[in-house]
Amino acid sequence: MALRAVAPVDTAGAHVLTTEHFRVLWGDGYDRADTDWGDSNGDGKPDWVGDWAGALESAYDTLVGLGFPAPYGSDRYYIDVYVGNTGVVVEGGPVL
C-alpha cells in the first residue's frame, strides 16, 4: 500500500501525531498546569493524544473488520482529527 498523503488543508499552530489512518492535530492554547494534558514521557505530546490515537485506530479496525466500508478517501489520505479549543488555525476557517 502506498503511503498516505496529507489532504491539502493548511493549518497553523498545530502539533501533529500521525498513525496508520489518522492525523491528530492540537495547538498550544491549553492550560499547561492542567494534569489532563500531562506529558509523562517527555515526548512533547500530551499522554492522552497517543491513547486517543490508539483508540481511533482500534475503532477503525473494528468497524472495517465488521464489514463497514472504510471512510471515503482514507486509502489515500489521513483522516484529520482536530482537538478543539487549543488554538489550531485552519486556513480560511475558524480557530479551533
Q: What is the pLDDT along the chain (96 residues), one digit of tens a residue?
A: 456 777 777 888 899 999 999 999 999 888 777 888 888 888 888 988 999 999 999 999 999 999 999 999 999 999 999 998 888 888 877 676
Confidence (pLDDT) at 22: 96
3-state secondary structure of 69: coil
Confidence (pLDDT) at 2: 54
> pTM value?
0.84
Residue boundaries of the structural domains of the chain: 11-90
Could you please report the per-residue DSSP string of 19-87?
Answer: -SSEEEEE-S-S-TT-GGG--TT-SSS-HHHHHHHHHHHHHHHHHHHTTPPPPTTTTTB-EEEE-TTS-
